[in-house]
Amino acid sequence: MLLSSDGLGHVILKPTPLKYCEEILPKIRGPVVTKQELIDAEPKFLPEQKIVVEHTDFKPLAKEHDAEFKEFEDFNVTGKSMCEGKVDDFVEHFRDRFRRLSGIIKERGPARDIEHVKRRGMGEKVRIIGMVSEIKTTKNGHRLISLEDETDTINVLVPQSDRQLIEESHNVINDEVIAIDGKMSRELFIANAIIKPDIPLHQPRRTEESLCVGMMSDTHIGSLLFMRQNFEKFIDWMHGRHGNAKQRELAGRIKYITIAGDLVDGVGIYPNQEYELETTDIFEQYRQFKQYLEQLPDYVEVVLTPGNHDAVRTADPQPAMSNEVTNNITSLDNVNLMSSPGYCSLHGVEFLLYHGASIHSIVPHVKTTDYVHPEKVCVEYLQRRHLHPVYGERPPITPEKKDYMVIERVPDVMQVADVHRNGYITYKGVIGVNAGCWQKQTPYQLQKGHHPTPCILPILDLHATKLSIVHFDKEVGA
């Protein structure tokens, strides 16, 4: 038999290509074998239905408590998208962003309109608030920041003699809303302080019971690189079938699982993706994902938000996935679909879930961030009170009349994803988590030098507000 070029590409990406050929070729006539013929001859994936044999001492605490899930609808774009891409949509979008973020800053003290300061504020020490439209460095090392509010625009000079302020100015990015203290001098406003909206010190909410949340993302089911055996090990562990007594006790306290996007690998997401897919039908990918959820303990409440590989628009904010695409996934009584970003309360503890693709517009512009420590980007989001400040970069932003990316409500926990790397941080009382992935390193990641940390599960104790880390990339409990 002769393999076509796409058939060959499909075969060589299998874990054991020769064994695959031995099993599949007897089912095909030939003489030329295409990729589609190979896929049609493959047995349909069905996770092994295992008989759950729990340890006699496995008595999950989570089973004794009803789920308390509440979504904050004000922050959910699903069914509310009215954007037509007109100029007025952009105007309303950025006005809404400016008004809400400037309102947060004004809670800490009054500020003057730019038009008033330019007209009457010569020499007066004042605070102005504006949206950044341009940042430049002069030949003398000064920094020039162009700000605009709803009344006028102004050029702000950060003098090179103030080294600390110059350093802070390098952390300013386009389209964010900031305040600047200083005074007017001729045509320039001379800065002596830069203020971001930022969050106040936050006292996280706690539960009375020691219930836990398992935090996941980027499962990428349907990919040849999906780590199926490790994921099934996790499911077995949730039933108390692995680990010592301490590990089983921890598994039994997991009442909630949050999965922050890229549930499946999708189809047509990037060039030549078909060569890396085990399942080329997105409906089949979601069917397989649903089968895994069915194998979880039925007392565990699951919260799902979309990512850029899921079957929704890639532009932020992303609406919740539909039942039509996801194989009627909410027919499972314990499954909840939210938008990205999405806000919810789990047993009274408030979570902000966002897939986090805007990291690609933060890292190139903020030198304190990188892809090795994605949790640092959580701090940048919280300081700016915005999840996607830079317009015109990855991913695109849909200019809704309400800017759903504004962090108006301070969460107890912020969960992000996208870069497939675990990271944890606490900032002013808010816990930031990047939950890693369940997929091996992709050729694209290898090319870019990104090193994922797959199959590592962070678990948050909602009473102690502390994280435990369980490794399913090796022996459970390591």
Domain annotation for the chain: domains and CATH numbers:
2-41 (no CATH), 61-80+202-471 (3.60.21.50), 108-195 (2.40.50.140)
pLDDT for the residue 252 = 97
pLDDT for 372-410, tens place per residue?
Answer: 999 999 999 999 999 999 999 889 999 999 999 999 999
Among residues 133, 144, 132, 128, the alpha carbon closest in space to that of 180 is found at 128
Mean pLDDT, all residues of the chain: 92
Residue 382 dihedral angles phi and psi, to the nearest 5°: -70, -40
pLDDT for the residue 204 = 94
pLDDT for the residue 137 = 96
Asked whether residue 202 carries a pLDDT value surpassing 70, the answer given is yes
| 207 CB neighbour count, 10 Å cutoff | 19
- Pick from 29-38, 124-133, 204-213, 255-264: least confident: 29-38
pLDDT for 288-318, tens place per residue?
Answer: 999 999 999 999 999 999 999 999 999 999 9
Q: Average pLDDT for residues 425-440, to the nearest whole number?
A: 97
pLDDT for the residue 478 = 38
| 66 CB neighbour count, 10 Å cutoff | 9
pLDDT for the residue 131 = 98
pLDDT for the residue 15 = 66
pLDDT for 114-163, tens place per residue?
Answer: 999 998 878 789 999 999 999 999 999 999 999 999 999 999 999 999 99
CA pair distance 324, 302, nearest whole angstrom: 19
pLDDT for the residue 182 = 96
Top pLDDT among 57 and 77 is at: 77
Among residues 250, 247, 257, 248, the alpha carbon closest in space to that of 213 is found at 257
Q: Average pLDDT for residues 167-177, to the nearest whole number?
A: 96
With a CB cutoff of 8 Å and minimum separation 6, the contacts of 304 are 259, 263, 321, 329, 335, 336, 337, 338
Token pair for residue 322?
A: 């539909």
pLDDT for the residue 421 = 96
CA pair distance 354, 435, nearest whole angstrom: 11
pLDDT for the residue 476 = 46
Pair type for strands 125-137 and 153-158: unpaired
Binned at pLDDT 50, 70 and 90, residue 181 comes out as very high
> Considering just the CA atoms, what is the radius of gyration of the chain in Å?
25
Q: Average pLDDT for residues 457-466, to the nearest whole number?
A: 97
Residue 54 dihedral angles phi and psi, to the nearest 5°: -80, 155
Q: Average pLDDT for residues 184-193, to the nearest whole number?
A: 93
pLDDT for 34-56, tens place per residue?
Answer: 888 888 888 765 555 554 455 55
pLDDT for the residue 44 = 64
- Characterize 289-327 residue by residue with b for buried, 16 or more Cβ atoms within 10 angstroms of its Cβ, and e for exposed: bbebbebbbebbbbbbbbbbbbbbebbbbbbbbeeebbb
CA pair distance 183, 171, nearest whole angstrom: 22
Looking at the chain, the whole-number percentage of residues with pLDDT higher than 70 is 96
CA pair distance 69, 336, nearest whole angstrom: 9
Among residues 84, 129, 143, the alpha carbon closest in space to that of 385 is found at 129
The structure tokens 């950025």 sit at 94
Token pair for residue 28?
A: 């095909």
| 232 CB neighbour count, 10 Å cutoff | 16
Among residues 333, 353, 277, the alpha carbon closest in space to that of 309 is found at 277
- Strand-pairing partners, residue 70, are 345
Asked whether residue 72 carries a pLDDT value surpassing 70, the answer given is yes
Top pLDDT among 147 and 270 is at: 147
Instruction: Characterise 429 by phi-psi region: left (phi > 0), alpha (psi -120 to 50), beta (else).
Output: left
Among residues 25, 444, 13, the alpha carbon closest in space to that of 224 is found at 13
pLDDT for the residue 40 = 82
Binned at pLDDT 50, 70 and 90, residue 1 comes out as confident
Binned at pLDDT 50, 70 and 90, residue 453 comes out as very high
Binned at pLDDT 50, 70 and 90, residue 33 comes out as confident
Asked whether residue 270 carries a pLDDT value surpassing 90, the answer given is no
What residue type is 112 in one-letter code? R
Binned at pLDDT 50, 70 and 90, residue 477 comes out as very low
Instruction: Characterise 231 by phi-psi region: left (phi > 0), alpha (psi -120 to 50), beta (else).
Output: alpha
- Three-state SS for the chain is CEECHHHHHHHHCCCCHHHHHHHHHHHCCCCEECHHHHHHHCCCCCCCCCCCCCCCCCCCHHHHCCCCEEECHHHCCCCCCCCCCCHHHHHHHHHHHHHHHHHHHHCCCCCECHHHHHHHCECCEEEEEEEEEEEEECCCCCEEEEEECCCCEEEEEECCCCHHHHHHHCCCCCCCEEEEEEEEECCEEEEEEEECCCCCCCCCCCCCCCCEEEEECCCCECECCECHHHHHHHHHHHCCCCCCHHHHHHHHCEEEEEEECCCECCCCCCCCHHHHECCCCHHHHHHHHHHHHHCCCCCCEEEEECCCCCCCCCCECECCCCCCCCCCHHHCCCEEECCECEEEEECCEEEEECCCCCHHHHCCCCCCCCCCCCHHHHHHHHHHCECCCCCCCCCCECCCCCCCCECCCCCCEEEECCCCCEEEEEECCEEEEEECECECCCHHHHHHCCCCCECEEEEEECCCCEEEEEECCCCCCC
Among residues 355, 38, 394, 67, the alpha carbon closest in space to that of 216 is found at 355
Residue 96 dihedral angles phi and psi, to the nearest 5°: -65, -45
